[in-house]
Amino acid sequence: MKYRTIGTDPKNRRDVSVLALGAMLFGSRTDEETSFAVLDRYVEAGGNFIDTSDNYAFWIDGGQGGQSEELLGRWRRSRGIGDEIVFATKLGARPLAPGTSYVDNAEGLSAKVIRESAERSRDRLGVAKLDLLYAHIEDRTVPLQETVEGFAELVAEGTVGLLGVSNHATWRVERARALAAAAGLPGYEVLQYAHTHLRPRTDVPDGLFPDGSLGHAGPDLLSYLRAEPALTLVAYSPLLKGAYTHPDRLPADFDHPGTPARLKVLREVAQETGATVNQVVLAWQLGGPLPIIPLVGASSVAQLEENLAAVDLELSPEQRARLDSVH
């Protein structure tokens, strides 16, 4: 395994594995035995960066989520895990009532919610401190100043380490970070967005983002990342939930004329290296100039093994140039 440092504060920054493990479906669609086996193998391979959220996976049973955090808490206790594993979780998108959705009934990002939801996450995970806490989705009903101060209070109290943000417009991220800096408070340092080799259309609206998806790491966010070297991008859905090997699963926003050309180059590089297309995608992210940590999900140890092997896959400068330049 290889590692990189996230965060700048010497007290809270952490060295994390360059491949993060997503636990979204652990404890719900992925049963406990399989979840524990995947977690054990990840740690055995040197992985130490595990990602979840307080609302995972509310859509499975029509509840409010929490199954993933609860399972991770059971796994922690059964394995005697201490602070050697970095746990990241998110708040803001937990439905306020069973049978509802974050689209129209999310908990939001008020100071009260931040404090109460973080405490519930710590209880479910069984930790005294959340290593990394994200604002999961935007809440434009609450002043940014309140959200910034709410997160900063938890850092000051020592119950949260690093702060992150996901699925926000880049201008909202910058505004929040500027507010924090002006007040001498800790701000967002880890950005979590969908990012993969295929390029999506970003103008396709959905229920949460009427102007187009804010979940993808588009040109504006990647430009922001280049300009702010202290930031790290955690890339979720890097393998598009299996769509690279099952084209019928390709999301609608990737159905455009640029996709076939990028798939063609991926397959060529995979054949040249003897790797899988999935491994090429991950290696392309891992070895690039931007600080990107792919966040992979796995419903079996075999899937995890394929992902782990990408850490040691070295692409040549010529292969990387072809992957970067294809349109």
So what's the pLDDT on residue 204? 74
So what's the pLDDT on residue 209? 67
So what's the pLDDT on residue 208? 64
Is-above-0.75 flag for pTM? yes
| CA Rg value for the chain | 19
So what's the pLDDT on residue 292? 98
Structure tokens, 268: 């060529």
Give the mean pLDDT per block of 10 residues along the chain (327 residues). 97 98 97 98 98 97 96 98 97 96 93 98 98 97 98 98 97 98 98 96 71 84 96 98 93 92 97 98 97 97 98 98 94
Fold of the domain built from segment(s) 3-255+284-314:
TIM Barrel (3.20.20)
Where along the chain do its domains lie? 3-255+284-314
| Rounded CA separation 292/296 (Å) | 12
Structure confidence by residue, pLDDT tens digits, 29-58: 999 999 999 999 999 999 999 999 999 999
Structure tokens, 63: 């509840």
- 320 phi, psi to nearest 5 deg: -65, -40
Q: What is the DSSP string of 176-218?
A: HHHHHHHTT---EEEEEEE--SS---S----SS-TTS-SSB--
Cβ distance 121 to 89 under 8 Å? yes
CA-based end-to-end distance of the chain: 32
So what's the pLDDT on residue 202? 78
Count CB atoms within 10 A of the CB of residue 127: 21
Place of tokens 């740690």: 43
Structure tokens, 282: 């991950």
So what's the pLDDT on residue 214? 78
Overall size of the chain counted in residues: 327
Peptide bond into 275 cis (omega under 30): no
Cβ distance 177 to 187 under 8 Å? yes
